[in-house]
Structure 1
Amino acid sequence: MDDEPADTGVGAPPAGGGLPATEPAQALPVAQPDTEQTADKVARDLEFTLFYSDQMPRLVAFLIVHGAHAVIAREVAQDAMTEAYRQWDRLDNPRAWIRTVASRTWWRRIEQTRAEDLSDDLDDQASTAAITELDEIENRHAFLTILRSLPPGQQQVMAWIYDGYQPTEIAAMLRIPPATVRSRLRDARAALRKAFGSDEETP
C-alpha cells in the first residue's frame, strides 16, 4: 500500500494557482462641501453688498449732516457697515441700525475730541480719490454747510429727518421724548429758513 503524503499544515493553493484572494480595500470617505451652507453665504454676501452700495453714500451724508467732516464721516460709516456685516443675520432693520450705531459713534468721538480742530490735518491725510468722492457727496447736498452751524441736538434731529425718518421714529431711535424731537426740529428749521433768507419750509 502507498504511503499517504505527510500533512504539512499548509492548505492547498487555490484552483488555478496564484495567491489567495484578499478583501477589496475600503475607500476613505471624502468630505463633501455643504452646498446649502455655501449658497446661503453667497446669498447673504450679495444681499449685504447691495445694501452697502445703496446705503454707504447715504450714511456718509447722514453723518455730515451731524457735523462730521467728510473724511471722518466716511470712516465712521465704514466702521458701522463692518459691524453690520458681522451681525447681518440678526438685524431686523439694518437701515436704522447702521444710523443708530454711526450716530452714537460720532457723538462719542465729539466728546473725546471736542477741544481739537482736526479738519486741517484730515485734509492732508485724505487721498485725492477720497476727496473727490466725498466732495461729490457734499456737492449733492447744498445745505450741509449751513446745517453744521446748528447746535448738536438740532443737527442730530435734522440728520434723521433728512434721511426720511419721522419725529416719532427719531424719538425711539434716540431714546428721547417725541416733544423734544419736534422742538429741536422746529428750531432747526427756523434757523435754516433764516440762513437761506426764505420763509419757505425746509426739508
Structure 2
Amino acid sequence: MDDKTTERAEPEPSYWMVRSTPNAPLRDLVPCEQDQIRDEFSAFYRGFLTHLASWLILHGWVSDADAYDVAQDTMRLAYERWPTIEHPRAWARRTASRLCVERLSRGEMLPVEDIEDRIPRKGDTCATAVSDTLQDFMAALQTLPPRQRQVLLWAYEEYEPAEIAAELKMTPEAVRSSLWKARRKIAKIMHGQDSDQ
C-alpha cells in the first residue's frame, strides 16, 4: 500500500479506539497500551520526521534548522495526542504548517534568507548526490507565491484538490486555480532551462 492509501484508509480497530476513555492521557493507559502506542509512534517518528522537515523546507518559510525544530515539536504534539489521531501524516503536515505560521507571526523564527544562496549549484561538490533536475525544480518552486507553493506541495503528496481545500481551509476552486497557475509557471521555468542547455 502506498502512503496515501495507508494514510486515508479506514483506521483498523485498535486498542486505543475501543477503550472506555478515548481521550485519556497516555499516562492513564494500562502498560500494554502504553507500550503498543509507543511502538506505533516510534515507527511513525522514524519514518516521517525527515520527510516532514524536508516538506517544510521546500515551502521556503523557514531555515533548515527551524524546519527540523518545527518537525520535532509537531512530533511531540503527535505523541501526546497519538491515540486520537486517525491520519498521522495529514495531521502532522497540517500541524507543522500551522506551527510555522504561528512562529513566524510571533517573530520566533527568522524568515529564510534568499533561497538562491542555499540551493547547491551544479558544479558544487555538495551537490553530487542531488540531480540537476531536482535543483532546478527547487529553484523554480521558490519563485512561486507562498500559497501556490503550499498547494503544489500538498498536491505532490498525492492529495486531491478537495482534500487540499479541507486541509488548508480553502475552496476547491481556489485550490484548482492555484494549482493550475503554479504548474504552468513551474513548467515554463523548467522548459526554459531545458532549452538553454
Q: What corresponds to 2:80 in structure 1?
A: 86
Distance 1:60 1:91 in 2: 20
Aligned CA distance change for structure 1 residues 85 and 112 (closer, same or farther; 3 Å): same
Distance 1:175 1:55 in 2: 24
**1:93 Cα shift?**
1.3
Q: What corresponds to 2:160 in structure 1?
A: 166
Distance 2:41 2:149 in 1: 28
User: Where does 1:15-94 land on structure 2 (aligned, <5 Å)?
Assistant: 37-67=30-60, 68-94=62-88
In the alignment, residue 51 of structure 2 is paired with which amino acid? R
Computed over aligned residues only, the root mean square deviation of the Cα atoms, in angstroms, reads 3.0
Structure ranking higher in helix proportion: 2
Identical-residue share of aligned pairs (%): 36
Asked whether the 8 Å contact 1:76–1:102 carries over to 2, the reply is yes
Aligned CA distance change for structure 1 residues 166 and 117 (closer, same or farther; 3 Å): closer
Q: Which of these residues, 176, 180, 184, is aligned with residue 174 of structure 2? A: 180
Larger Cα-atom Rg = 1
The range that moved more, 58-67 or 46-55, is 58-67
User: Where does 1:132-147 land on structure 2 (aligned, <5 Å)?
Assistant: 139=130, 142=135, 143-147=137-141
**Where does structure 2 lack aligned partners over 5 or more consecutive residues?**
1-28, 118-125, 193-197
Asked whether the 8 Å contact 2:104–2:111 carries over to 1, the reply is no
Distance 2:50 2:191 in 1: 29
Aligned CA distance change for structure 1 residues 152 and 117 (closer, same or farther; 3 Å): closer
Asked whether the 8 Å contact 2:75–2:92 carries over to 1, the reply is yes
**1:110 Cα shift?**
3.6
Matched position secondary structure for 2:30: helix
**Where does structure 1 lack aligned partners over 5 or more consecutive residues?**
1-35, 124-134, 199-203
Asked whether the 8 Å contact 2:78–2:92 carries over to 1, the reply is yes
Q: What corresponds to 1:195 in structure 2?
A: 189
Asked whether the 8 Å contact 1:146–1:195 carries over to 2, the reply is yes
Asked whether the 8 Å contact 1:64–1:144 carries over to 2, the reply is no
Aligned CA distance change for structure 1 residues 113 and 186 (closer, same or farther; 3 Å): farther
Asked whether the 8 Å contact 2:58–2:138 carries over to 1, the reply is yes
Q: What corresponds to 1:19 in structure 2?
A: none
**1:144 Cα shift?**
2.5
Asked whether the 8 Å contact 2:63–2:111 carries over to 1, the reply is no
Normalising by structure 1, we get a TM-score of 0.65
Distance 2:31 2:185 in 1: 53
Matched position secondary structure for 1:176: coil
Asked whether the 8 Å contact 2:151–2:164 carries over to 1, the reply is yes
Normalising by structure 2, we get a TM-score of 0.66
Work out the number of aligned pairs and report it: 150
Asked whether the 8 Å contact 1:167–1:182 carries over to 2, the reply is yes
**1:37 Cα shift?**
2.0
